[in-house]
Amino acid sequence: MRVLGWFLLLVGLVLAWFLLSPVVALILALFALPLALLLAALALPVGLFLALLGAVLALLGFFVKWLLPLALLLLALWLLLSPRRPVPEGW
């Protein structure tokens, strides 16, 4: 558990330092927005649906950018700082 805690702490810090988060946002923008604009010109209902999908993916990217690093940091700190309990017999 201690190794997992250190690994999650490292991953959370990398994401919090914006080394990986802009890549996720760029991938979401590169896939969602041009496709939505192209299909909006071809078929308005499908394009509007994909524009909405792009907005949802952008929100997902925002949550991945901000909440995932915080969640990983909190989980890593919890794993590193929680007292170890003895494992019951039979586990």
Domain span holding position 68 = 2-81
**Alpha-carbon distance values, 32 to 24, 28, 51, 53 (Å):** 12, 6, 7, 7
pLDDT in tens, 15-41: 676 666 677 677 767 777 777 777 667
Question: What phi and psi values does residue 88 have, to the nearest 5 degrees?
Answer: -65, 155
Mean pLDDT, the chain, as a whole number? 77
**Measured between alpha carbons, how far is 51 from 39 in angstroms, rounded to an integer?**
9
**pTM of the model as a whole:** 0.39
Q: Which two tokens stand for residue 15?
A: 């994401």
Instruction: Tell me if 42 is assigned to some domain.
Output: yes
- The structural domain count of the chain equals 1
Instruction: Tell me if 87 is assigned to some domain.
Output: no
Q: Is the pLDDT higher at 68 or at 41?
A: 68
